[in-house]
A and B are shown apart, each in its own frame.
Chain A
Amino acid sequence: MLEKALVGDKKYWTWVGFLLVVIGIGFIAYLRQLANGLTVTGLSRDVTWGFYIAQFTFLVGVAASAVMVVLPYYLHNYKAFGKLTILGEFVAISSVIMCMLFIFVDMGQPFRIMNVILHPTPNSLMFWDMFVLSGYLVLNVLISRITLDSERKGIAPPGWIKPIILLSIPWAISIHTVTAFLYSGLAARAFWMTAVLAPRFLASAFASGPALLILIVFVIRKYTRFDPGKEPVQKLAEIVTYAMAFNIFLILMEVFTVLYSSIPEHIEHFQFLFLGLHGNNTLVPWMWTSVILAILALILLINPKTRRNESVLGVACVAVFASIWIDKGLGMVVTGFTPSPLGAVTKYWPTWNELLIAIGVYAIGFLMVTVFYKITLSLRGEISAPAKIEEKARVGSTV
Chain B
Amino acid sequence: MGIDRRKFLTIAGLTAASVIGRKALGDSLSVAPESNLLPEENRLIGHRWAMVVDLRKCKEQHNCTKCIDACNAVHNIPQFDNPKDEVKWIWKEHFKEAFPNQEKEYILEGLLETPITVMCNHCDNPPCVRVCPTQATWKREDGIVMMDMHRCIGCRYCVAACPYGSRSFNWRDPRPFIKEINKDYPTRTRGVVEKCNFCAERLARGQMPACVEACEEKALIFGDLEDPDSEVRALLRENFAIRRKPNLGTNPEVYYIV
- Closest residue on chain A to residue B101 by CB atoms: A265
A108 touching B153 in the complex, CB below 8 Å, given contacts A39-B172, A187-B248, A188-B160: yes
B235 CB within 8 Å of chain A: no
Q: Which residues of B contact A106 (CB under 8 A)?
A: 155
B172 CB contact (under 8 Å) in A37, A127, A187, A336: A37
Contact bitstring B70-91, A, C-beta under 8 A = 1, else 0: 0000000000000111111000
Which of the segments A194-202, A339-347, A385-393 contacts the partner chain? A339-347
A216 CB within 8 Å of chain B: no
- Whether B130 and A124, one on each chain, are in contact in the complex, defined by CB atoms closer than 8 angstroms, is yes
A45 CB contact (under 8 Å) in B83, B173, B190: B83
B215 CB within 8 Å of chain A: no
- Whether B170 and A108, one on each chain, are in contact in the complex, defined by CB atoms closer than 8 angstroms, is yes
Q: How many residues of B contact A (CB 8 A)?
A: 46
A107 CB within 8 Å of chain B: yes
Which of the segments B25-33, B39-47, B92-100, B204-212 contacts the partner chain? B92-100
A113 CB within 8 Å of chain B: yes
B159 CB within 8 Å of chain A: yes
Q: Which residues of B contact A187 (CB under 8 A)?
A: 127, 163, 248-250
Q: Which residues of A contact B165 (CB under 8 A)?
A: 45-46, 340-342, 344
Give the interface SS of chain A, mostly helix, strand, loop or mixed: loop
Contact bitstring B121-147, A, C-beta under 8 A = 1, else 0: 000000100111111100000000000
Q: Which residues of B contact A45 (CB under 8 A)?
A: 83-88, 165, 168-169, 171
B50 CB within 8 Å of chain A: no
A74 CB within 8 Å of chain B: no
A43 CB within 8 Å of chain B: yes
- Whether A38 and B151, one on each chain, are in contact in the complex, defined by CB atoms closer than 8 angstroms, is no
- Whether A107 and B160, one on each chain, are in contact in the complex, defined by CB atoms closer than 8 angstroms, is no
- Closest residue on chain A to residue B80 by CB atoms: A39
CA distance A381 to B72 in the complex (A): 69
Q: Which residues of B contact A186 (CB under 8 A)?
A: 127, 131, 160-161
- Whether B132 and A109, one on each chain, are in contact in the complex, defined by CB atoms closer than 8 angstroms, is no
CA distance A39 to B168 in the complex (A): 13
Give the interface SS of chain B, mostly helix, strand, loop or mixed: loop
- Closest residue on chain A to residue B248 by CB atoms: A187
- Whether A113 and B96, one on each chain, are in contact in the complex, defined by CB atoms closer than 8 angstroms, is no
A48 touching B134 in the complex, CB below 8 Å, given contacts A37-B171, A187-B248: no
CA distance A279 to B257 in the complex (A): 35
- Whether A188 and B153, one on each chain, are in contact in the complex, defined by CB atoms closer than 8 angstroms, is no
Smallest CB separation, B153 vs chain A (Å): 5
CA distance A39 to B87 in the complex (A): 13
- Whether B157 and A43, one on each chain, are in contact in the complex, defined by CB atoms closer than 8 angstroms, is no
A window 46-82: CB within 8 A of B: 46, 48-49
A126 CB within 8 Å of chain B: yes
Q: Which residues of B contact A182 (CB under 8 A)?
A: 157
A window 5-57: CB within 8 A of B: 36-39, 43-46, 48-49
- Whether B170 and A37, one on each chain, are in contact in the complex, defined by CB atoms closer than 8 angstroms, is yes
A119 CB within 8 Å of chain B: yes
Q: Which residues of B contact A48 (CB under 8 A)?
A: 156, 159-160, 169
Q: Which residues of B contact A103 (CB under 8 A)?
A: 155
Smallest CB separation, B101 vs chain A (Å): 8
Q: Which residues of A contact B162 (CB under 8 A)?
A: 188, 341
CA distance A36 to B172 in the complex (A): 6
Smallest CB separation, B177 vs chain A (Å): 11
CA distance A125 to B194 in the complex (A): 21
A window 335-379: CB within 8 A of B: 336-337, 340-344, 346
A window 104-123: CB within 8 A of B: 106-110, 112-113, 115-116, 118-119, 121, 123
A269 CB within 8 Å of chain B: no
A328 CB within 8 Å of chain B: no
Q: Which residues of A contact B159 (CB under 8 A)?
A: 48
- Closest residue on chain A to residue B173 by CB atoms: A37
A189 CB within 8 Å of chain B: yes
CA distance A342 to B163 in the complex (A): 8
A341 CB contact (under 8 Å) in B136, B157, B163, B169: B163
Q: Which residues of B contact A340 (CB under 8 A)?
A: 165
B residues near A, CB below 8 A? 83-88, 93, 96-98, 100, 127, 130-136, 151-157, 159-165, 168-173, 190-193, 248-250
Question: Which 10 pairs across A and B sit closest by C-beta, in order of nearness?
Answer: A108-B154, A108-B191, A188-B163, A126-B133, A39-B172, A37-B190, A44-B84, A39-B171, A124-B133, A115-B134
A-B contact pairs, 21 of them (CB 8 A): A38-B172, A39-B171, A39-B172, A44-B171, A45-B85, A108-B170, A108-B190, A112-B134, A116-B134, A116-B153, A121-B133, A123-B130, A124-B133, A127-B133, A185-B131, A186-B160, A188-B160, A336-B160, A341-B165, A342-B98, A346-B84
